[in-house]
Amino acid sequence: MIKFFRKIRYNLVETGKTGKYLKYAVGEIVLVVIGILIALQINNWNEKRKTNNTLENYYHQIITELAKDYNRIHYDLNNLEANYLVTYDEFVKKLPTQKNPKTIIISSEELEYTTPVYTNFNTNTIATLQAKGDIKLMPTDIRNKLIELKND
């Protein structure tokens, strides 16, 4: 194929048809430029597709972590409520035996809540986003909320 085009160029130059040769050369340059632009556009589409896939994966991981956090908080709240009711019932049962108001107040302050409440959220994906620098791929409002969640 290259030999074929080379023959055309040599024939045009040798026969003195410089105008045709220049038109041919410009046409060839235009075709090469168009080919490069098409290749760049395809590469841009591919990079955007990869970025979108990465973002979708991060979104899925964040949603999974938030669901786990929600379930843990819901479980802790249920345990806290149950524990509170048991402790409150025990306190109410002891009330008739207490005659002094000061003793009642002191015993109310000693109510025990044995169910720990955790406010540490699972932020592994957010840490990964920050470590890899992929957090900049997130829209600004989502990025700010994720950073706020991690810092709290």
Q: At 74, which amino acid appears?
A: H
Q: Which domain holds residue 14?
A: 2-119
Q: Is residue 151 part of a domain?
A: no
Top-ranked range on mean pLDDT: pick from 2-16, 36-50, 109-123 = 36-50
Task: Specify the pLDDT at position 6.
Answer: 74
Q: Is the pLDDT of residue 104 over 80?
A: no
Host H or E run for residue 96: none
132 assigned to some structural domain: no
Mean pLDDT of all residues in 97-103: 70
In the three-class reduction of DSSP (H, G, I as helix; E, B as strand; rest coil), residue 122 is classed as: coil
Report d(CA 26, CA 3) in Å as an integer: 19
pLDDT tens digits for range 53-78: 999 999 999 999 999 999 988 988 88
Asked, for residue 49, whether it belongs to a domain, the answer is yes
Quick check: 1 pLDDT over 80?
no
Q: SS3 of 100, please?
A: coil
pLDDT over 60 (residue 27): yes
Confidence of residue 25 (pLDDT cuts 50, 70, 90): confident
Query: In the chain, how many domains are there?
Result: 1
* Closest listed residue to residue 115, CA positions, set 75, 80, 150: 80
Find the largest Cα–Cα distance for the chain: 124
Question: What are the residues whose beta carbons fall under 8 Å from the beta carbon of 76, sequence distance 6 or more?
Answer: 115, 116, 117, 118
pLDDT digits (tens, 9 = 90+) for 134-148: 999 899 999 999 888
| Confidence (pTM) | 0.64
In a domain? residue 46? yes
CB 9 within 8 A of CB 21: yes
- Residue 62 included in any domain: yes
Q: Is position 113 within any domain?
A: yes
Could you write out the DSSP letters of every residue in 97-116? G---HHHHHHHHHT----S-
- What is the pLDDT at residue 110? 63
Neighbours of 87 (CB within 10 A): 16
